Chains A and B, each alone.
Chain A
Amino acid sequence: MKSSFVIFALLIFALLSFGLYEGLVAAPTEQTMGDVQRIFYYHMPSAITAFLCFFVNFGASIAYLMKRRPAADALAVSAAEVGVVFTTVVLVTGPLWARPVWGIWWTWDARLTSTLVLWLIYVSYLILRRFSGNNPVLSAVLAIFGAADVIFVYMAIRWFRTQHPQPVIGGGEGSGIDPHMFQALLANFVAFAAFAAMVIFIRYRLERLRQQVEEAHAMRAISEPAERVSR
């Protein structure tokens, strides 16, 4: 188990290194934006990975509401937390690209605003879990609202006229990307998705351990008064 995890971690490190090389060196320089366009190779794969994390959270939340299994709840919170980390990356790298290209750090268009709302929903989800006595049912319901916003964020540039660039992949006629750029994008997406899977696995193990410790504390609290009564 431990050795297979080490092999998996090394493989992810290799994928991330390859992604970094593709993004910074191998991909051609964009004609109008120059090197700053390379931020795209980290920005977009991070966004797609965050969406995947939130879909895992959605699936696990539904599973928890149906079966009430602690393992499903542990997977839900793990995926949400990793999703928030990746959305944070999106919200940081986006303005760092926008400043030299648009001349502004931020604008309240549909894509940017809905992404910020998405981040706030899942941060609220995590705060709710931590400060409301770890209420998994309530947070599972909130996760369903969060998943609806994921779809809104994805479709925002298709439904509205936005400052954010139009989709380059799956954007219909006129959209598209240079094959070398696509390769860099794909390399980083595969690397980030695998990295997210590994971090979700680590976080899941941690959450299961925390659930067991909580259970042990509860058992001790029940058995202690019973011992006092028997004395």
Chain B
Amino acid sequence: MNYLYAAYGATWVIHIVYLVILTRGYAKLREEIKDLEKH
């Protein structure tokens, strides 16, 4: 059972980490756009 939960858990950890990376990338890009608009 431990292997089963580890596999299901690892799947969602991988997906969530990727979604967090995407969200951070989006926020960084938004900041860059704001900077571009200022200058």
Chain A residues packing against B (C-beta within 8 Å): 20, 23-24, 35-36, 38-39, 42-43, 46, 85, 88-89, 92-93, 96-97, 99-100, 195, 199, 202-203, 206, 209-210, 213, 216-217, 220
B interface list, Cβ under 8 A from A = 1, 3-4, 6-8, 10-11, 14-15, 18-19, 22, 25-26, 29, 32-33, 36, 39
Q: How far is the CB of B6 from the nearest CB of chain A, in Å?
A: 5
Whether A92 contacts B8 by the Cβ 8 Å rule is no
Asked if B7 and A88 sit within 8 Å, CB to CB, the answer is no
How far, in whole Å, are A217 and B22 apart by their CA atoms in the complex? Answer: 22
Chain B residues within 8 Å of A85, by CB: 14-15, 18
Of B3, B8, B19, the residue contacting A20 (CB under 8 A) is B8
SS of B interface (majority) = helix
Assembled-state Cα–Cα distance A60/B1 (Å): 41
Which of A24, A36, A46 sits near B11, CB closer than 8 Å? A46
A89 touches B22 (CB 8 A): no
Instruction: Flag if A89 contacts B10 (CB, 8 Å).
Output: yes
Residue contact A39 to B4, C-beta cutoff 8 Å: yes
Partner of A42, one of B1, B11, B36: B11
Contacts of B8 in A (CB 8 A): 20, 23-24, 39, 42
For B1, give its contact among A35, A97, A213 (CB under 8 Å): A35
Residue of B nearest to A100 (CB): B3
